[in-house]
Amino acid sequence: MKKKRKNNFNLNQKSFYFENFIDPNFEKKKKSFISNDRIYILFFSFLSLIIIFSIKIISVSIQENNFYTSKKNYGYFSPLRRDIVDRNGVLLSSNLISHHAAIRSNLVKNKEKFLIKLKILFPKTNTKKIKQNLETKKQFYFKKRISIEEKNKLWSLGEKAIIFEPIQTRVYPQAALFSHVLGQINDDNIGISGFERYLDVELKNKSKINEPVILSIDSNIQYILKTELEKSLKTFDAIGAAGILIDSSNGEVLSLVSLPDYNINIRQNIFEKEFSNKITNDIFELGSIFKTFTVALAIENGIVESNTIIKNIPEKVKCSVHEIGDIKKFPKDLSVEDILIRSSNVGTVKIARQVGKEKFIKFINKTDLMNRPSIQLSELGQPLSFEWEKCRLETVSFGHGITTTPLQAATVYAAIANNGLKIRPTLVKNEINILNERLISETTSHQLQKILRKVVTDENGTASLADIHGYSVSGKTGTSQNYNNKKNINTFVSFFDIDEKKKYTLLVLLEDPKIAKNLIYDYRGQKIKALRNEAGWNAVYVAGKIIEKIGPILAINKEEFQSKNVVKKISF
């Protein structure tokens, strides 16, 4: 009997061909294949998204945009003008990123609410004009050159209609301190006043764009001058004041202040008469400070010496139909130096007549007092021309009938302090400004220096209030009237020593000062009130306060300069 064969295959198996090849882990592997497929799908999905975003970013970055093509924003990342710094490296003017705020009318959903929001944040907003612009213009400026605070206010509204157009703007960190020196630029990057206008081309020089222009001005001294002049406006109830400090040895201007001034960062009409630069642009009869020139000319021509006695000086002298006299009564016989110390009009006229008109005209021309001043500013006044008719010699000799700018008067006094060598005033540091031309001889200069020192120290001098211990102050006062409004112009031009070789020239001018009734002067050791409304009682007083405060700064700066030079020589 045959045995039955044992059947080893599965009855549910559809085919026997794969019977020996069935993997017992087949189900597990199948699940693993499915999991890997999902990972691959996710990976390629994320990779695709990354590629899409990368392409979009690159596309946006290289496509043309109004920001890059607009002329207004050209050079956005590169300064359009060079920085300006003072002699110590203090930043005075620089270009920064700012914004214009504009409105796109089509993005304003609710005009009434929009106007209310603007009015709340900016109460001075002209809502009628904005409403009209919303209806008639697609886009318009709400405000140009907005501050960071204003930008944040507008940003807080959350309005898509407000857009911020980036621009370069000129910023003046010192605000009003250098308004009459630096000036301003307009929205088209063009200098419109002051140093910015005078040196406009050089300030936009692309090859030097990262090199700052270094001024001769000292910020610390500028601050002191301005502070003391502002005090003088209150103390003497003056309508204006001005001052300039010049290094007599090289013509560098260390400070130039004219009041009233203005904040350069705030765009406004700066061409009003009150904002005029009194030092370089306004012209005045500066009065008795001209007497120094008359005496200088007489000594230079060998007509007199400082101790020469001028005899029989009358109380008044007649010139044509006019009479010239002195405010105070003087002795009949005065030396030349006494005439200058006491500031005698009649005595000066007698000296001028000995000099003669021709020599006087030649000397005035040599001083450049009648020419437009020379300095790196755009606001420069032109002294009034005149004919040398009858009595002109006599009146000019004591400072009447002739006009000039305070800058030019200070420049002549700087030449006297510089042992007779003429200088050209400059606002740029380290320029060569000694002209190698003599105004007067060294001998004449030394005589004048001694006389002008006595104007301060002598008991009959008119400038005793400027006798500051340690600085050997010399100078001359001048009191005159403004041509236009007949108000007093009180001036004191002085020079003082830091050491034997270093002298600085300081001019202080007060416009229409009054007697300071509550001010008690320390006058030659006595406590007194002002006796008269003359330069000796106001301009001299202010100059003394200034010299007292800037003297130590000038001395320290000189010591630092010398120590740096010593270090350089040793290292070499």
| Rounded Cα–Cα distance for residues 63 and 65 (Å) | 6
Statement: residue 273 has pLDDT above 60? yes
For range 205-224, the mean pLDDT: 96
Residue 536 lies in a domain: yes
- What CATH number does the domain containing 439 carry? 3.40.710.10
Residue 278 domain flag = yes
Q: What is the DSSP string of 430-467?
A: T---EEEEESS-HHHHHHHHHHHHHHHHSTT-S-GGG-
Spatial neighbors of 255 by CB under 8 A, at least 6 apart, are 217, 218, 221, 222, 224, 225, 243, 244, 245
Same domain, 313 and 197: no
Q: How far apart are CA 386 and CA 300, in angstroms?
A: 25
Which pLDDT does position 115 carry in this prediction?
A: 92
CA distances from 553 to 254, 256, 399, 560 (A): 12, 16, 34, 11
Whether residue 319 lies inside any domain: the answer is yes
| Residues in the chain, overall count | 572
Determine, yes or no, domain membership for 503.
yes
Which among 28-42, 141-155, 215-229 has the top mean pLDDT? Answer: 215-229
Question: Does residue 175 sit in the same domain as residue 251?
Answer: no
Total number of domains constituting the chain: 2
The band of 180, judged by pLDDT with boundaries at 50, 70 and 90, is very high
Return the closest-CA partner of residue 543 out of 468, 487, 484: 468
Query: Which pLDDT tens digit goes with each residue over 510-526?
Result: 999 999 988 999 887 78
Q: Which residues pair with 82 in a beta bridge?
A: none
pLDDT given for residue 45 in this prediction: 78
CATH number at residue 163: 3.90.1310.10
Is residue 184 domain-shared with residue 243, that is, in the same domain?
A: no
Bridge partners (DSSP) listed for residue 434: 423
Q: Is residue 33 part of a domain?
A: no
User: Which residue among 186, 215, 244 closes a domain?
Assistant: 215
- Over residues 12-64, the pLDDT tens digits come to 444 443 444 445 554 555 555 556 667 777 777 777 788 887 787 776 555 44
Regarding whether 235 and 189 lie in a shared domain, the answer is no
Residues 84 and 202 in one domain: yes
Average pLDDT for 536-554? 96
- Dig out the tokens for 561 from the structure: 């300069």
Q: Tell which of 188, 215, 242 closes a domain.
A: 215
pLDDT at 206: 92
**416 and 475 inside one domain:** yes
Give the pLDDT confidence of 72-116 residue by residue, as tens digits: 444 446 788 999 999 999 999 999 888 889 999 999 989 999 999
What residues make up the domain containing 95?
A: 74-215
Same domain, 98 and 238: no
Question: How does 487-519 read in b/e, with b if 16+ C-beta sit within 10 Å?
Answer: ebbbbbbbbbbbeeeebbbbbbbbbbbeebeee
- Are residues 211 and 236 located together in one domain of the fold? no
pLDDT of residue 559: 54
Same structural domain, 143 and 235: no
Neighbours of 138 (CB within 10 A): 10
In this structure, the answer to whether residues 490 and 375 fall within a common structural domain is yes
432 and 558 together in one domain: yes
Q: In the structure, what pLDDT confidence band is assigned to residue 320 with cuts at 50, 70 and 90?
A: confident
Which amino acid is residue 518, in one-letter code?
N
User: What per-residue confidence (pLDDT) applies to 382?
Assistant: 95
The mean-pLDDT minimum among 30-34, 386-390, 565-569 falls in: 565-569
Q: Does residue 63 fall inside a structural domain? A: no
Whole-angstrom Cα distance, residue 82 to residue 93?
8
Least reliable range by pLDDT among 50-59, 82-91, 149-158, 376-385:
50-59
Range with the lowest mean pLDDT among 57-61, 481-485, 535-539? 57-61
- Domain limit, last residue, from 187, 215, 243: 215
| Angle between helix 345-355 and 291-300 (nearest 10) | 40
- Output the pTM of the full model: 0.80
Asked, for residue 36, whether it belongs to a domain, the answer is: no
Note whether 326 and 358 are same-domain residues. Answer: yes
